Structure 1
Amino acid sequence: MPTRAIPLFLAMIFLITWGVIGFYVLGPELASRWFGPISGSHPLFFLATWAPAIAAILLVLSHAGTAGLGRFLSRLLLWRAPSGWAVFVVIGVPLVFMAGSVIKGGPALAPLPPEGAGPMVAVMLMMLFLGPIEELGWRGVLQPLLQRHMAPVWAGALIGAIWGLWHLPAFYLAGTVFGAWNFLPFFIGNVVLAVLVTPLLNRAGGSLLWPMFFHWQLINPFWPDAQPWDTWILAGVAIVVIWWNHDRMFTREGAVTEVIPLRPHAALQKTR
């Protein structure tokens, strides 16, 4: 896939997401009358959230057909990652939320609803099909294309800024979690998270599985609300990660630049 696909990718994701959410923001009564009130489980909210994945799939199909799409999706099979990164995603991310919540005087885990853990498990599973699907676009297409021309740290920061701006209309949308949040800390958090996930993507050889799992951990309903402390803690972690991996973060050596592998990845392929 050529680098010139970037403007088309960005145009598609903003057109879909800002078009859907903008309709509900600018014409809430008409939008609700036509499609029903918007919420985090509304089909149009899924469509808006899936915009990066939709754009990625359409671009891959246009450049490499169904065979190329199969090779692109084979990056989901790259499950090997350095052990330190695996521990951070599985254990470290929940600990960040727990620590941030405790610092602000909250609980270590999100309180269960009166119905018990069942509804939270259902939401957790639903979340698998929201935010993590975005990674097909952010880390699947945009990151490799940008890393052909800039060091990973700058590619990650740029994606984080785009990622944050892409969410902006949702902050004017009643009925979703974004409506109760402050945009600036969220925007900063997006930049931090995009930089933080960059070495994970590269060290896992372009894996889409690990960035998706990382994204899922960020929206897991069992982890407590830790804003803004989760952002500040993760910013500190990102600084450490950048320093520890400065040889890879500030040069393009070892950076993933391949969107569509020449052949499907085997599930047991070794980490780069």
Structure 2
Amino acid sequence: MRPHPGATERRIAWHFTLLTFAIAGVFSGGLIVAGRFGYAVSNVVSTVPEFLANVPFSIYILSPAIASYVVLRAHRRVTGPLQWIRLVFVLRGRPAGALLAVAALLMYFTIHLCISGPSATALPWTMFLLSLPGNLVIGGMEEAGWMSALQPELDRRWGFVRSSLVVGVIWLLWHVPLFFIPGTNHASGVIDFGMFAVQVLTFRFLYGAIFRAGGGNGVLLCILTHTVFNAASFTLGIPPTSWPGTLAANAAVLALALTAAALFPRSGAAVRR
């Protein structure tokens, strides 16, 4: 008896989500417990012990990418690491995806800066370039999981708005341990949870729209957008800092994402497997 159409995709989505939270729960839980004994995430890694201390945190952050590979291989969608890398890092796609990503980032930061004002913690732009590799691993590579094994499948099944909301809530819950791990900006109180939730939910819509608009390289564009967003936020010093700036910037990004999704009604391309 042949499986019902979409049954495999549903299993992939469920297995991916469960494995992601299992990995994240084990490592983030361990880090929270270790925090009671003096552990803290190191923002500046200059020694081998500091690097090793950050490995468990890196595994937590990379849990979506790790789960994507394990689940897609278990379901025979990829045969090994090289095929998974080729699936995620597709270079060719529609220019519309890249244009949308650039427009959204420029819109977000311009509006936020105009309303919230320049930050006292802003850094030289050289730091933006220097922080890109770190933000690719600790941030950008999340999308290698969310956008290869979860959101596009739900988009095709449920539509853009519902899938973006569901994955946005999942993504927000996955971030919650950051507010309890010593050494993170979240745990230090720099980031307000309410403003962070608004931003997370909005950008889930944006990544879904970028995937639709980009086509074949949708996953890679989401990785790059996430990386640049984190690096620019770090450089400009504007994590969510004020409700007016947060609401205005995210409202504009959300409107842009909804418009783009309407122009590209189908998920850009089925993730190549």
Shorter-chain TM-score range: 0.7 to 0.9
Structure 1 position 159, deviation (Å): 0.8
Q: Which of the numbers 212, 215, 223 marks the counterpart of 2:223?
A: 212
CA shift in 2, pair 1:130/1:226, >3 Å: closer
Q: How does 1:84-103 map to 2 (within 5 A)?
A: 85-90=97-102, 92-103=104-115
The residue type equivalent to 2:136 in the other structure is L
Contiguous gaps of at least 5 residues in structure 1: 262-272
Structure 1 position 144, deviation (Å): 2.4
Structure 1 position 107, deviation (Å): 4.7
CA shift in 2, pair 1:53/1:196, >3 Å: same
Q: Does 2:42 correspond to 1:39?
A: yes
Which deviates more from structure 2 when the two are superposed, residues 2-11 or residues 73-82?
Answer: 73-82
The residue type equivalent to 2:193 in the other structure is F
Determine the structure 2 residue equivalent to 1:170: 178
Q: Does 2:34 correspond to 1:13?
A: no
CA shift in 2, pair 1:109/1:91, >3 Å: farther
Structure 1 position 140, deviation (Å): 0.9
Determine the structure 2 residue equivalent to 1:196: 206
Residue deviations 1:8-59 (CA, integer Å, cap 9, x gap) = 21121112112212223244244x5xxx533356111110000000000001
State the distance in 2 between where 1:243 and 1:98 align: 19
Q: Which runs of 4+ in 1 moved over 6 A?
A: none
Q: How does 1:19-168 map to 2 (within 5 A)?
A: 19-30=26-37, 32=38, 37-40=40-43, 42-64=54-76, 67=79, 70-75=82-87, 76-83=89-96, 85-90=97-102, 92-107=104-119, 110-112=122-124, 117=126, 121-168=129-176
Which deviates more from structure 2 when the two are superposed, residues 8-17 or residues 65-74?
Answer: 65-74
The question of whether the paired residues in 2 share the 8 Å contact of 1:160 and 1:194 is answered with yes
Residue deviations 1:181-205 (CA, integer Å, cap 9, x gap) = 1212212211110111212101212
The residue type equivalent to 1:21 in the other structure is S
Residue deviations 1:125-179 (CA, integer Å, cap 9, x gap) = 2111121111111011101221232002211121111101110011122211112
State the distance in 1 between where 2:118 and 2:106 align: 14
Q: Which of the numbers 193, 210, 216 marks the counterpart of 1:183?
A: 193
Contiguous gaps of at least 5 residues in structure 2: 1-7, 46-53
Structure 1 position 259, deviation (Å): 3.9
State the distance in 1 between where 2:12 and 2:99 align: 35
3-state SS, counterpart of residue 158 of structure 2: coil
> What percent identity do the matched residue pairs reach?
22
The question of whether the paired residues in 2 share the 8 Å contact of 1:147 and 1:256 is answered with no
The question of whether the paired residues in 2 share the 8 Å contact of 1:82 and 1:204 is answered with yes
State the distance in 2 between where 1:29 and 1:167 align: 20
Structure 1 position 88, deviation (Å): 4.1
State the aligned residue count: 248
State the distance in 2 between where 1:131 and 1:162 align: 16
The question of whether the paired residues in 2 share the 8 Å contact of 1:157 and 1:194 is answered with yes
State the distance in 2 between where 1:163 and 1:146 align: 14
State the distance in 2 between where 1:134 and 1:100 align: 24
Which deviates more from structure 2 when the two are superposed, residues 19-28 or residues 155-164?
Answer: 19-28
CA shift in 2, pair 1:244/1:95, >3 Å: closer
State the distance in 2 between where 1:53 and 1:97 align: 27
Q: Which of the numbers 222, 227, 245 marks the counterpart of 2:235?
A: 222
The question of whether the paired residues in 2 share the 8 Å contact of 1:77 and 1:209 is answered with yes
Query: Aligned-residue CA RMSD in angstroms?
Result: 2.8
Query: Normalising to structure 2: TM-score of the pair?
Result: 0.78
Structure 1 position 81, deviation (Å): 2.9
3-state SS, counterpart of residue 4 of structure 1: helix
Q: Greater helix percent: which structure? A: 2
